[in-house]
Chains A and B, each alone.
Chain A
């Protein structure tokens, strides 16, 4: 079966056609699109960005992300885990908040420097 997707790997947004049996990808303008198309029919993944609580900083939240894309099915479960986290200022870009979430190789990292107040 041929499935259609919009590649989300860059702002260009190429229209992809992926054969679910042979995993052949068409419509991509670069290799990243091919990888994305294959993943969409095998194990779709997304980068998740959100915030967690932080104490002692200028504002009550600090932004975080998954350092790699993670299985799309885990999106809401990741959000639940993030609800339980509370950091303390200071922190800087790249600090690990959760290492290997749900036993994957994906870490949750800080994306904003927060000085203590």
Chain B
């Protein structure tokens, strides 16, 4: 089998992987290889043809493919190499990746450092166990998006959407514009998980009703038992249990699921990388190094992001972290733990090194909360407090903390009333 050595091996050529390459290149690393299983670079951005990307990074509103092209162009005149149509099958703790490609067959590549940038996948019907007939016509919103925007066919004509995450909302508009009738968007929680702007421009613009505190309680097959014929939804109580008698039926041929994303960490686990139960991504230090020396992580494989601009920034930091590791070895010194407190569902990074002046901790709140403050505490001492008019789970928050304030103790970030 072919064996190759590189300085930096990046697994995944989506926005996270591209930014990691850019970050490492700018930090002086020249021998960089991106391995991508798809035919083209850009990851999920290739199917996100709507606009809304890049306001922070490029001060311009771009579509997904345009945003990807910017980073591809930024790497054009560099020594960064790409192998596409190549899938990483295995990764070991000593950073050897086993790669399968149709052109080159099977080979092994070892990196002095590795960046994990494999993205995430969508939760499916099985993952949330919806009752009813097992028939065709049930798709994840992202799969429907790919069929529509890449392959050019519409998965159905009369559609119900479960979940009000951004991908579901974007698909409600997309399918409507393509001539489908979207009958309802159904959300289990009493609030939407998508951005307000997407409720406005994807549902309200087309008079698509949003049913909050509702869920799908039955899927009924057509006569041939082949395709969805009806979807039944019910109101839920405060414990999210369906209320009998509240059923509403929709005659439709398609149910789209937009019920969450899960970081794609099979490879990470093979390499012995420890995952955080909360993020379902690797446990990382603030240089984005995982529990395995020399293996770094960024983008949706690390924590599910809602904005690609944040993915790129994180990717560049992972690239820088990997470059520092290649040049100077492992960061020395004790680590300080970052722990989510009341009202905060996770913190990323989970461990803080002594290197650098400050650390940015990213997190999500548990429930929508008004007039509150985000507080970082070391022992009893408040080291940072940010007042907020409103925070919601669908928007990632961050707090910057001075490392000098940590005093070798753990830091807790929590939500408090104003």
Known A59-B150, A112-B69, A113-B69; judge A10-B55 contact (CB<8 A): yes
Check B341 for interface membership: any CB of A closer than 8 A.
no
Closest to B395 in A: A11
Known A49-B51, A63-B49, A65-B51; judge A93-B150 contact (CB<8 A): no
Cβ-neighbour of A13 out of B39, B148, B195 (below 8 A): B195
5 chain-A/chain-B pairs, Cβ below 8 angstroms: A8-B201, A49-B63, A60-B151, A61-B151, A63-B149
Cβ-neighbour of A63 out of B65, B178, B195, B200 (below 8 A): B65
Known A49-B51, A112-B46; judge A60-B152 contact (CB<8 A): yes
In the A-B complex, the 7 residue pairs with the closest CB atoms? A13-B196, A112-B65, A63-B49, A6-B200, A61-B152, A8-B197, A13-B197
A-B contact count (CB 8 A): 79
**Which residues 1-23 of A have a CB within 8 angstroms of B?**
5-11, 13, 15
Check A28 for interface membership: any CB of B closer than 8 A.
no
Question: B-side interface residues toward A, CB under 8 Å?
Answer: 39-40, 46, 49-52, 55, 61, 63, 65-66, 69, 148-152, 177-178, 195-197, 199-201, 205, 306-307, 395
A112 to B66 alpha-carbon distance, docked (Å): 6
* B200 near A111: Cβ-Cβ < 8 Å: no
Which of A15, A58, A93 has the most chain B CB atoms inside 10 A of its CB? A93
**Which residues 73-90 of A have a CB within 8 angstroms of B?**
75-76, 79
Check A24 for interface membership: any CB of B closer than 8 A.
no
A9 to B195 alpha-carbon distance, docked (Å): 12
A10 to B59 alpha-carbon distance, docked (Å): 11
Which residues of B are found within 8 Å of A6, using beta-carbon distances? 196-197, 199-200
* B149 near A51: Cβ-Cβ < 8 Å: yes
**Which residues 45-66 of A have a CB within 8 angstroms of B?**
46-51, 53, 58-61, 63, 65
Check A72 for interface membership: any CB of B closer than 8 A.
yes
Shortest Cβ distance from residue B232 to the other chain A in the assembled complex, whole angstroms: 30
Which residues of A are found within 8 Å of B201, using beta-carbon distances? 8, 46
Which residues of B are found within 8 Å of A60, using beta-carbon distances? 151-152
A58 to B61 alpha-carbon distance, docked (Å): 26
A7 to B46 alpha-carbon distance, docked (Å): 26
Closest to B67 in A: A111
Which of A49, A59, A79 has the most chain B CB atoms inside 10 A of its CB? A49
Cβ-neighbour of B63 out of A75, A111, A113 (below 8 A): A111
A10 to B210 alpha-carbon distance, docked (Å): 22
Shortest Cβ distance from residue B375 to the other chain A in the assembled complex, whole angstroms: 23
* A50 near B177: Cβ-Cβ < 8 Å: yes
Which residues of A are found within 8 Å of B61, using beta-carbon distances? 10, 47
* B197 near A7: Cβ-Cβ < 8 Å: yes
Closest to B206 in A: A75
18 new A-B contacts, CB < 8 A, other than A6-B197, A49-B49, are A8-B200, A11-B197, A11-B395, A13-B196, A46-B205, A47-B61, A50-B177, A59-B150, A61-B150, A61-B152, A63-B65, A65-B51, A93-B69, A111-B49, A111-B63, A111-B66, A112-B46, A112-B49
Which residues of B are found within 8 Å of A9, using beta-carbon distances? 197
* B177 near A79: Cβ-Cβ < 8 Å: yes
Closest to B200 in A: A6
* B152 near A79: Cβ-Cβ < 8 Å: no
Which residues of A are found within 8 Å of B177, using beta-carbon distances? 48, 50, 75-76, 79
Closest to A7 in B: B197
* B307 near A49: Cβ-Cβ < 8 Å: no
Known A59-B151, A61-B150; judge A111-B65 contact (CB<8 A): yes
Shortest Cβ distance from residue B397 to the other chain A in the assembled complex, whole angstroms: 13
A93 to B195 alpha-carbon distance, docked (Å): 27
Which residues of A are found within 8 Å of B49, using beta-carbon distances? 49-51, 63, 65, 111-112
